[in-house]
Every structure is written in C-alpha cells, then in structure tokens.
C-alpha cells in the first residue's frame, strides 16, 4: 500500500496546512510542530532521496505557524533488513 504522495487515510495535505495553522493561532491552541509520515518499508533509493526533501517542506510550512516549531518528527519510511 502506498501512503505518501497525495490524499490518503492519514494526515492532512500540505496545501491545507497554512489555513489550519492560521486557525490554530486564532483559536489560541498550543501549536507544537509537525509530524511528517513518508511511508513505510521503503527500500527504493529514489523514494529515499525524495524523503530527504521533507525538512525543506517543514521550513516552508513553519512560516505560517502561529508560534515557533518546537517538535519535528519525520518518522517512518525506512525498511528494516528483515522486511526485504
């Protein structure tokens, strides 16, 4: 199952995040940061290179944050040796 690269059952599309961050600020909620899930059991080198671009996407989204980004989790995506 492919879980990155568009709308799926988890998370929010990046295009929606700026408005969501604006709303979080207006509501006075405690914004902490981002969790980026880039897939799981990924053994493909091209996809691994794509995953390394995720921090720059967070930097761009952080410009819209109502407060400083304190947490950044870019988890998942790497395959374990036994999963190949």
Closest CA to 2 of 42, 34, 46, 35: 42
**CB atoms inside a 10 Å sphere around CB 80:** 8
**Between 14 and 8, whose confidence is greater?**
14
Q: Report the range of poorest mean pLDDT among 4-8, 10-14, 22-26, 31-35.
A: 4-8
Taking the alpha carbons of 26, 67, 31, 29 in that order, is the dihedral positive or negative? Answer: negative
Q: What is the pLDDT of residue 74?
A: 77
Asked if residue 20 belongs to a domain, the reply is no
pLDDT at 84 exceeding the cut of 60: no
The pLDDT tens digits for 1-10 are 455 555 556 6
- Counting the structural domains of the chain, the total is 1
* pLDDT given at position 62: 92
Domain assignment present for residue 21? The answer is no
Q: Give the C-alpha separation, 47 to 3, whole Å.
A: 12
Domain containing 71 equals 33-78
Asked if the structure places residue 1 within a domain, the reply is: no
17 within some domain = no
Output the pTM of the full model: 0.64
Within a domain: residue 84? no
Please give the Cα distance from 63 to 69 (Å, whole number): 10
Residue 27 lies in a domain: no
């Amino acid at each position: 199952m492919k879980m990155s690269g568009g709308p799926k059952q988890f998370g929010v599309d990046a295009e929606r995040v700026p408005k969501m961050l604006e709303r979080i600020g207006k509501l006075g909620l405690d914004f902490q940061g981002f969790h980026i899930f880039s897939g799981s059991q990924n053994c493909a080198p091209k996809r691994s290179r794509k995953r390394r671009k995720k921090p720059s996407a967070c930097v761009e989204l952080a410009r819209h944050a109502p407060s400083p980004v304190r947490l950044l989790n870019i988890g998942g995506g790497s395959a374990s040796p036994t999963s190949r």
